[in-house]
Amino acid sequence: MSDRSGIKSRKVITNILYEILDKSNSFESSFEKLAKDSDDKAFIYMLTSSILRYLTQIDFTLDKLLKKSIKKLPTQPKMALRLGLAQLFLLNTPQHAAVNTSVELAGKKWKGLVNAILREIIRKDEKYRNIFENAPKIPDWLLRRWQNNWPNDYLKIIKCFQELHPHIDVAVKKDIKKWKVELDADLLPNNVLRLKQSGIIKDMPGYSEGNWWVQDYSSQIPVKIFSIAKDEEVLDLCASPGGKTAQMLSIGAKVLSIDKNKKRIEKFKNNMERLNFNYEILQTDILEFETDRKWNKILLDVPCTSTGTIRKNPDILYSKKEADLTSIIAIQKKLLEKSWSLLGKGGKLLYCNCSLEEEEGELQISNFLKNQKDAKIEKISNREIKDMDQSICKEGWIRILPHNDNLVENKDGFFIACLKKVS
């Protein structure tokens, strides 16, 4: 990479970070918008995601060298310092390149400050690496929650989330052994493929032909638990972007999918059309959905804080706040109650989400069972899924932590519960 192209790529990175951290846009949408015309997408993705994964540590370290908090600096020097330290400590970029490019990005007024700070870090490398390694690793509110809820696991969870090259898992329509070879993938338990190497997904064999789709290991588990048969009719609520719908369609199920978000539905349709599935999706608010029909199986993947997906979506560390929980939990409760009203006697509702917060999983379901007398837990067993003994709880639901289970580590955090209507 030439100096000029390096500067250009780093300017894109600062713009993406600004969109995420200052305007609260998602990593995915910001990257797609700002890096789409770049020739160096891989580098941009790597450095941006690295900064987000380690931002708490980066800012803590830089605060030790500044007279005031880095968060109070203008955007240009703030981003330049973050880029510089990330390159030095995380990507092992040559020191002169890390300093020179950061100085150029700093803006005329701030070049001297950025140059001095980064050269001081280089001069006292061991000191500042030690500060960096021992700094808080995630925002205080989330650290406090995980220490309380997962006292034996929170350090391992954080370690998973800071992985610079997260695995990519895929689901296939058929011929899994063939695609294991074609994609150079590992075959995980429960017939999930994990790519050994990352790359541009769209350029991989079979993608454009619709033979497979990207879907995390944990996200594939709910449908596998649900034991759906060919021609069985299923209602899939909050269905976009469509991974679970695709799983069910590949089995031969008849699925009615519902979502209210127009942009997410467009992504759903694009996915289904690439996969050559016949699909049916309604754009409507589930809470306003009216039908006389009672369903035998309903899949409810509720909106959530998504804290289980930080490994691939590190922007969640900063886009979500503890105060968000209250409104999210309330929405989940309403969706759960509405979904229950659509379920027929003897029917099953599978509730799931990709959050690590107990209020969105264990406590949500416990409270529902207390108030809904015709509901009981349909206990999940290791007969339905393989190698997940550590995730199956005594209550009968599943709590997947990013690092646990016998063979599969580094995956999304997930909660899954199957409810049966008994009267």
* The pLDDT value given to residue 270: 96
CA–CA distance, 47 with 101 (Å, rounded to integer): 13
Spatial CB neighbours of 103, under 8 Å, sequence gap ≥ 6: 80, 111, 114, 115, 118
Summarised one tens digit per residue, pLDDT across range 222-235 is 999 999 999 999 99
pLDDT at 2 over 50: no
Q: Which amino acid is at 91?
A: L
Average of pLDDT values for 250-271?
Answer: 96
Percent with pLDDT over 70 in the chain: 98
Q: Which amino acid is at 99?
A: V
CB-CB neighbours of 341 under 10 Å: 8
Average of pLDDT values for 192-202?
Answer: 89
pLDDT at 407 over 80: no
Class of domain 3-134: mainly alpha
Predicted confidence band at 406 (pLDDT cuts at 50, 70, 90)?
A: low
pLDDT at 67 over 50: yes
CA–CA distance, 244 with 224 (Å, rounded to integer): 10
Summarised one tens digit per residue, pLDDT across range 154-177 is 999 999 999 888 899 999 999 999
Average of pLDDT values for 285-298?
Answer: 95
CA angle 120, 124, 125 (to 5 degrees): 105
Residue with tokens 């503890």: 322
Same fold, 3-134 and 217-421: no
pLDDT at 1 over 50: no
pLDDT at 5 over 70: no
Would you say 1 and 100 are in contact if contact means Cβ atoms under 8 Å apart?
Answer: no
- Using DSSP bridges, classify how beta strands 398-400 and 414-421 pair: parallel, antiparallel or unpaired: antiparallel
Would you say 315 and 343 are in contact if contact means Cβ atoms under 8 Å apart?
Answer: no
CA–CA distance, 374 with 347 (Å, rounded to integer): 11
pLDDT at 3 over 60: no
Would you say 246 and 272 are in contact if contact means Cβ atoms under 8 Å apart?
Answer: yes
The least confident of 60-74, 331-345, 396-410 is: 396-410
Eight-class DSSP state of 228: P
Residue with tokens 């330290």: 85
pLDDT at 137 over 90: yes
CA–CA distance, 404 with 388 (Å, rounded to integer): 8
The least confident of 102-106, 136-140, 276-280, 407-411 is: 407-411
The predicted model scores a pTM of 0.93
The domain limits of the chain are: 3-134, 217-421
Predicted confidence band at 405 (pLDDT cuts at 50, 70, 90)?
A: low
Average of pLDDT values for 30-51?
Answer: 90
CA–CA distance, 111 with 96 (Å, rounded to integer): 15
Taking all residues of the chain, what is their mean pLDDT, rounded to a whole number? 94
Fold of 217-421: Rossmann fold (3.40.50)
* The pLDDT value given to residue 382: 83
Predicted confidence band at 126 (pLDDT cuts at 50, 70, 90)?
A: very high
* The pLDDT value given to residue 404: 73
* The pLDDT value given to residue 42: 86
Helical ranges in 124-186 per DSSP H: 125-134, 140-149, 154-161, 176-182
What six digits make up the tokens of 235? 């209602």
CA–CA distance, 11 with 346 (Å, rounded to integer): 57
* Cross-strand bridge partners of residue 375: 421
Residue with tokens 């991989």: 204
Q: Residue 193 belongs to what H/E stretch?
A: strand 192-195
* The pLDDT value given to residue 389: 86
